[in-house]
Structure 1
């Protein structure tokens, strides 16, 4: 969005200087038009901000209502389960029943999430230990290989030296 700045009309070297053919009355009318346009944009911006705030409040209220309804559904499932166990009937296989069944079971068993975290930590610890063992193995292998190469090179140089001196000593 481009807002017209009337101060630039009188700035020297701006290339937008006042035109000699525009009288003062036209300059004042341009200024009032631009000022009214700015005010319209400002009021529209304030309206949009107010609308955005009301939408945010509505969204928060709906999210709270959704959470409340989910909790109510779990409580209803708990009552259904109680009634089914009292009547001795087996539960249905409806998707909705299965979804709330899992949420109900998770709510009843507070140690389920703890055991799940423990299994994940055990898996991470296993792979970390495996990585460290591989790293130590590679470092030891590289060290042993370097020493082996050093011994082989020393033995090779000693043999060459003795081969070189053998004809001279005879």
Structure 2
């Protein structure tokens, strides 16, 4: 028996599938397909907020540098504002890695709900529903690999 995918909720092998608390033999799955739900605008807004969070220190630093260069003040004051602007702009560097990592994780999860459906002799059955796009892709590919030999028999 070949195991194509396994996690605590899903098991896909060459002999059968366990999803959503139910067991199916591969020959019982006549057809398998997926559907995508509507986009979650909250997730998209969160990504935009992360992007703005990365840009704000750069904009603030750029503004401080511009003000320092246009200021008509003592040289020490201009240099202080200029150095402060540069430091504010550089503040984005240590934070950017963390924010970009969260942005990547957001894209891995996806912005919509995904469902895997199967047609069995009793009708259509929901096999899996998840918001995690990366996990969904792994499970769906594993299911296709498991069903492929069953189709060619």
| TM-score normalized with structure 2 length | 0.30
Specify which structure has the higher proportion of strand: 2
- Structure number with greater Rg is 1
TM-score, normalised to structure 1, is: 0.28
Q: Which has the higher contact order (CA 8 A, sep 6+)?
A: 2
